[in-house]
């Protein structure tokens, strides 16, 4: 489709300038030119037109003429038609494009015929991208901090899909390692309590009610199978809490034996994985794949990635351990991959997982990490490159955990202590839509205080409610249209030239921005650009709604206005869908609009 058919005005201006510059190149005036050099931006001041380009200033040196002179040569080669009202040269050589009213009016038909695809673009066409996000240890329910990464990651995947990428989402299940052993131990100790034993439960084990629930199910399913006299478990423990819990884990494994320990471990781990899956699904977040860390051992990826690092000369042995030469790639120190006792480190799993990702052939690999994991980035980049991969394929995005406030009271969140507000509790209190929208309203790497009271407010102060109310208001207009027996848009061709009010042109100009916003959000990995845009669009619509009638006007004007608000409704729906937020057709409470 041409830019004209998709309503992408910026693309029209870019193409016209590129064609003009190519003509100058053919004339021998420009020796070195490519279409990628053309940049066009929206103007901040409407008196300077709709779009402006500094192309003449960028090419003036090689053209051996001053920028204004080159700008004039370019403008002379651009035909002005019904879409463009005029082109002017301003300042030192800016080229300003003024689109005619018809270009904006034509958008109404473009949007309504696009069937929800207006705003989508092809910048990612032919490229695959894998987005890994959340990936928290399954040691307990998701809390409100995890919710931000879930909302951001899912919204980003949706935006990238709208930008033409083949998008694949993945959750990395940490079903191995010390934290999972602590989880298994916690469940087993609670299980022993259910079997009638008195247990001195460690303060640094997992304390939540969910641990007791899993232990109870284990006891109900297996009876006394995993029970034993617990007195010897707690004899002569180290005074250091972390060392003592490691001793308890060792004694647990020894007492149960490999088979029974694996049964307890899997019961603890996968009960939490299933809970996380259900929680995220109810939040509207679904993954294409749930990848098991344990599979990296079973499928040989850890062994193979270490072998390749050795083959490439980036491994050495010291004091019985195997080390990766991470410092050769700007990391602050070399990293242990295999300890002297033969046990793989967490980093070994990270190396193997990214080796696995690279082997799957994605053009781009995006890791969304909590900000507390920023220290892992350099070493993962290092191992990725050492394995022969292009680090341009690998992108890390950091998400600050959201902090929840009830009034002025900050809510503590400690996973082992069990004192945290779960994502499920937040959703039940404010709803999925408010939670998702508020999570993506800021850049992910910015600190966020989640204002619980504002998220529940049904007023224009609450941005998600304000946007949803705009969609519901438009739906209400069309319901009233049918109730009054008035002519619908079905089968009509509205005369949009009747739209002459300032609020109508303002709304059309905001609608014209949507494709650029989607492209920007995809290019910068910033779904909040969509949220900001929707807020502007909703405000423009409410202003229009309050200023002009839709149903009481003469039929031709009424149909034209209905076409405009129908296009607005479709863009609101599409934008909210990219954020994973619903677009309700009715609201049960009124709102004070600005």
Q: Is residue 7 scored above 60 in pLDDT?
A: no
Q: Are 138 and 272 in contact (CB under 8 A)?
A: yes
Cα separation, 405 vs 449, whole angstroms? 7
Give yes or no for residue 412 having a pLDDT over 80: no
pLDDT at 232: 83
Higher pLDDT, 470 or 488: 470
The dihedral sign for the CA sequence 124, 126, 127, 130: positive
Question: Is 354:380 a contact under the CB 8 Å cutoff?
Answer: yes
- pLDDT of residue 590 exceeding 50: no
In this predicted structure, the answer to whether residue 144 has a pLDDT above a threshold of 90 is: no
Under a CB-based contact definition with an 8 Å cutoff, are residues 454 and 407 in contact?
no
Cβ proximity of 111 and 150 under 8 Å = no
Q: Give Cα separations from 78 to 39, 62, 85, 387, 455 (angstroms).
A: 16, 21, 12, 50, 50
pLDDT confidence bin for 372, thresholds 50/70/90: confident
- How confident is residue 594, by pLDDT bands cut at 50, 70 and 90? very low
Percent of the chain with pLDDT over 90: 76
pLDDT band for position 488 (50/70/90)?
A: confident
pLDDT-based confidence at 405, cuts 50/70/90?
confident
Q: Closest Cα to residue 157, out of 170, 148, 142, 174? A: 170
User: Which pLDDT score, from 0 to 100, does residue 591 have?
Assistant: 40
pLDDT score at 82: 66
Lowest mean pLDDT among 272-276, 377-381, 389-393, 586-590: 586-590
Whole-number pLDDT of residue 413 = 56
pLDDT digit string (tens) for 59-84? 999 888 999 999 999 999 997 766 88
Tokens of 12: 């029209």
Pick from 261-270, 368-377, 390-399, 585-594: least confident: 585-594
Number of other residues whose CB lies within 10 A of the CB of residue 333: 9
pLDDT above 90 (res 287): yes
Closest CA to 358 of 317, 319, 312, 308: 308
CA–CA–CA angle 136, 331, 157 (5° rounding):
35
Distance CA 488, CA 563 (A): 10
Would the pLDDT of 3 be above 80? no
CA distance 493 to 442: 41
With 50 as the cut, is the pLDDT of residue 561 above it? yes
| CA-wise closest residue to 403 among 375, 357, 371, 380 | 371
- Binned at pLDDT 50, 70 and 90, residue 419 comes out as low
Contacts 24+ apart (CB under 8 A), 56-60: 56/89, 56/93, 56/94, 56/95, 57/92, 57/93, 57/94, 59/21, 59/30, 59/33, 60/93
Domain 3-99 listed as CATH 2.30.110.10? no
Per CATH, the number for 458-578 is 1.10.730.10
Which pLDDT value is given to residue 593? 36
Spatial distance between the Cα atoms of 188 and 191, rounded to a whole number of angstroms: 5
| pLDDT above 90 for 158 | yes
Q: How far is CA 217 from CA 22, 221, 222, 268, in A?
A: 72, 6, 8, 10
Round to whole Å and give the CA distance between 156 and 494.
36
Mean local confidence (pLDDT), 89-116? 93
Query: Residues 180-205: what's their mean pLDDT?
Result: 93
Residues 524 and 572 sit within 8 Å (Cβ to Cβ): no
First to last CA, the chain: 38
Q: What is the mean pLDDT of the chain?
A: 92
**Confidence at residue 266, expressed as pLDDT on a 0 to 100 scale:** 95
Q: What is the pLDDT of residues 125-143, one digit of tens each?
A: 999 999 999 999 999 889 8
Calculate mean pLDDT across residues 222-230: 87
Q: Where are the beta strands (DSSP E) in 133-281?
A: 166-173
| pLDDT value of position 588 | 62
Mean pLDDT across 320-336: 96
pLDDT at 414: 55
Contact by Cβ (8 Å): 24, 77: yes
Report which of residues 213 and 6 the model is more confident about. Answer: 213
Q: What is the pLDDT of residue 255?
A: 92
Q: Is the pLDDT of residue 421 over 90?
A: no
Helix axis angle, 241-282 relative to 209-222, nearest 10°? 90
**What are the structural domain ranges in the chain?**
3-99, 178-282, 458-578
User: Beta strand 321-324 with 335-338: parallel, antiparallel or unpaired?
Assistant: antiparallel
- The percent of residues above 70 in pLDDT, for the chain, comes to 96
Q: How far is CA 544 from CA 196, 352, 355, in A?
A: 70, 56, 54
Strand partners, 291: 172
Looking at per-residue confidence, does 477 or 453 come out higher?
477
Q: What is d(CA 315, CA 335) in angstroms, rounded to the nearest whole number?
A: 10
Element (H, E) at 558: helix 555-578
With 60 as the cut, is the pLDDT of residue 592 above it?
Answer: no
Cβ atoms of 241 and 203 closer than 8 Å: yes
Instruction: Give the largest CA-CA distance in the chain.
Output: 93
Q: Is the dihedral of CA 118, 522, 504, 540 positive or negative?
A: positive
Euclidean distance between CA atoms 346 and 292, whole angstroms:
14
Residues 207, 189: Cα–Cα separation, whole Å: 11
Q: The tokens 């879930």 sit on which residue?
A: 150
- What local confidence, expressed as pLDDT, does residue 2 receive? 45
Bigger pLDDT: 529 vs 491:
529
> Which tokens belong to 352?
């193997």
**According to the model, what pLDDT value does residue 177 have?**
87
Instruction: Please list the residues that pair with 292 across neighbouring strands.
Output: 173
């Amino acid at each position: 489709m041409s830019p004209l058919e998709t309503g992408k005005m910026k693309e029209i201006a870019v193409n016209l300038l590129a064609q003009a510059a190519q003509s100058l190149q053919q004339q021998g005036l420009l020796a070195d030119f490519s279409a990628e050099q053309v940049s066009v931006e929206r103007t901040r001041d409407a008196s300077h037109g709709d779009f402006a380009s500094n192309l003449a200033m960028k090419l003036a040196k090689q053209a051996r003429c001053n920028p204004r002179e080159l700008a004039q040569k370019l403008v002379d080669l651009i035909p002005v038609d019904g879409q463009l009202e005029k082109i002017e040269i301003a300042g030192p050589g800016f080229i300003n494009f003024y689109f005619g009213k018809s270009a904006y009016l034509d958008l109404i038909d473009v949007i309504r015929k696009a069937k929800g695809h207006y705003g989508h673009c092809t910048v990612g066409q032919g490229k695959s991208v894998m987005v890994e996000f959340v990936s928290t240890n399954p040691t307990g329910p998701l809390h409100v901090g995890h919710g931000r990464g879930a909302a951001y990651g899912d919204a980003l995947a949706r935006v990238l899909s709208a930008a033409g990428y083949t998008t694949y989402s993945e959750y990395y299940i940490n079903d191995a390692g010390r934290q999972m052993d602590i989880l298994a131990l916690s469940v087993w100790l609670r299980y022993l309590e259910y079997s009638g034993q008195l247990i001195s439960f460690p303060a640094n084990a997992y304390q939540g009610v969910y641990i007791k629930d899993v232990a109870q199910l284990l006891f109900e399913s297996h009876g006394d199978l995993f029970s034993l006299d617990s007195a010897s478990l707690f004899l002569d423990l180290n005074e250091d809490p972390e060392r003592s819990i490691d001793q308890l884990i060792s004694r647990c494994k020894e007492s149960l034996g490999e088979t029974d320990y694996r049964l307890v471990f899997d019961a603890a781990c996968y009960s939490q994985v299933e809970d996380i899956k259900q929680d995220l699904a109810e939040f509207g977040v679904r993954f294409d794949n749930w990848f098991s860390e344990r599979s990296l051992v079973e499928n040989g990826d850890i062994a193979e990635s270490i072998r390749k690092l050795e083959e490439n000369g980036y491994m050495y042995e010291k004091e019985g351990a195997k080390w990766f030469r991470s410092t050769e790639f700007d990391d602050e120190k070399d990293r242990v991959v295999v300890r002297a006792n033969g046990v793989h480190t967490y980093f070994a799993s990270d190396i193997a997982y990214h080796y696995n990702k690279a082997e799957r052939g994605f053009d781009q690999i995006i890791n969304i990490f909590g900000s507390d994991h920023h220290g892992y980035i350099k070493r993962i980049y290092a191992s990725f490159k050492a394995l022969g991969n292009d680090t341009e394929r690998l992108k890390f995005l950091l998400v600050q955990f959201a902090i929840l406030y009830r009034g002025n009271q900050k809510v503590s969140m400690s996973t082992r202590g069990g004192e945290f507000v779960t994502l499920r509790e937040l959703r039940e209190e404010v709803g999925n839509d408010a939670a998702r929208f508020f999570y993506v309203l800021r850049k992910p790497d910015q600190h966020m205080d989640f204002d619980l009271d504002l998220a529940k407010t049904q007023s224009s102060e609450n941005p998600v409610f304000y946007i949803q109310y705009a969609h519901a208001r438009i739906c209400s207009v069309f319901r009233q249209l049918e109730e009054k027996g008035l002519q619908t848009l079905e089968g009509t061709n509205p005369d949009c030239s009747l739209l002459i009010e300032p609020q109508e042109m303002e709304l059309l100009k905001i609608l014209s921005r949507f494709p650029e916003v989607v492209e920007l959000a995809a290019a910068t990995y910033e779904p909040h650009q969509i949220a900001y845009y929707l807020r502007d669009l909703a405000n423009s619509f409410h202003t229009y709604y309050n200023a002009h009638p839709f149903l009481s006007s003469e039929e031709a004007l009424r149909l034209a206005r209905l076409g405009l608000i129908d296009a607005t409704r479709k863009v609101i729906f599409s934008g909210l869908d990219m954020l994973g937020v619903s677009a309700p057709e009715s609201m049960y409470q009124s709102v004070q609009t600005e």
